[in-house]
Amino acid sequence: MKKDIHPKYYKDATVHCSCGKIFKTGATKPEMHVEVCSACHPFYTGQDKVIDTAGRVEKFKKRLAKARR
């Protein structure tokens, strides 16, 4: 393996979620900010929560309503 080509690995990287949860993990960045974590992701919580980016849900609902006419 070549030397000095790998990024530095941080064993205690801090992850901040938009839901407020903060946890430690291993990563190549010392600090990260995420929108969804295991505490707030619908797959893990079992709750139906719409995560909308760039108005995709509204666009879909408009097309669906138009198609039903």
Q: Residue 56: helix, strand or coil by DSSP?
A: helix
The per-residue pLDDT for 62 is 87
* Percent of the chain whose pLDDT exceeds 70: 87
| Interval 46-52 mean pLDDT | 65
Which domains are assigned to the chain? 10-68 (4.10.80.400)
Could you report the per-residue pLDDT of 22-46, keeping only the tens digit for each? 999 999 999 999 988 888 877 767 7
Q: Is the pLDDT of residue 14 over 90?
A: yes
16 class by beta-carbon count within 10 Å (0-12 exposed, 13-18 middle, 19+ buried): middle
